[in-house]
Amino acid sequence: MKCRGGDREAFGPIVESYRRRAYFTALGLVGNREEAYDLSQEAFVRAFRAIGRFDPAREFAPWFFRILRNLCASAHARRKTRREDSLEKLREDGREFPAGDRFSPELLAERNEAAERVWRGLAELDAKHREVVVLKDLQGYGYREIAEILDIPIGTVMSRLYHARRKLKEKLLGEEASRAV
């Protein structure tokens, strides 16, 4: 690994391959686009600075995402109130969705509303439950990878994920029921 010797250009492909996942992981953990971007960039800077401590016999992703997770946890601790992101805000920032039956205004409104409910539900979970949902359900990591990233046993990952999904479901169903009244 050339970047272990301080070669910034060798680190570039690593950044490119993890950039998108890092951003969306941070977004799921902190709930703010700008902060997620800043934190994901800071995680790459810190990873590059600490690359000499990385064990090349191990996988890079768990090591890197542990750095990112710790940054997000610190940011979240500094800022107790969590702002939400929505698909509508993404659209305002220039994200366009193709026209067609699947993207009718009514269907998009329903999807936006559902997405906002999920983001609100995630925001209400405590950090340890939110992070397992983000890593498993939004980022698609396996139990072993999550255990490595969070530095906890696989059984704890499974337990937290079970309880997090149950709590999220209760919040979403409770919100749905209160909206129906």
pLDDT at 85: 46
Angle ∠(7,33,162) on CA atoms, nearest 5: 95
pLDDT for 82 equals 40
What pLDDT score does 162 carry?
A: 96
Burial (CB count <10 Å: 0-12, 13-18, 19+), residue 116: middle
pLDDT for the residue 39? 94
- Write down the pLDDT at residue 123: 82
Which SS3 state, helix, strand or coil, does residue 79 take? coil
pLDDT in tens, the chain (181 residues): 556 665 677 788 888 999 999 998 888 888 888 898 999 999 999 998 888 888 888 888 889 999 999 998 888 777 654 444 444 555 555 555 444 455 455 655 666 676 777 778 888 888 899 889 989 988 888 999 999 888 899 999 999 999 999 998 888 887 665 555 4
Distance CA 155, CA 72 (A): 23
| Predicted structure pTM score | 0.61
Asked if 136 and 161 count as a contact pair (C-beta separation under 8 A), the reply is yes
Instruction: Report the first-to-last Cα separation within the chain, whole angstroms.
Output: 59
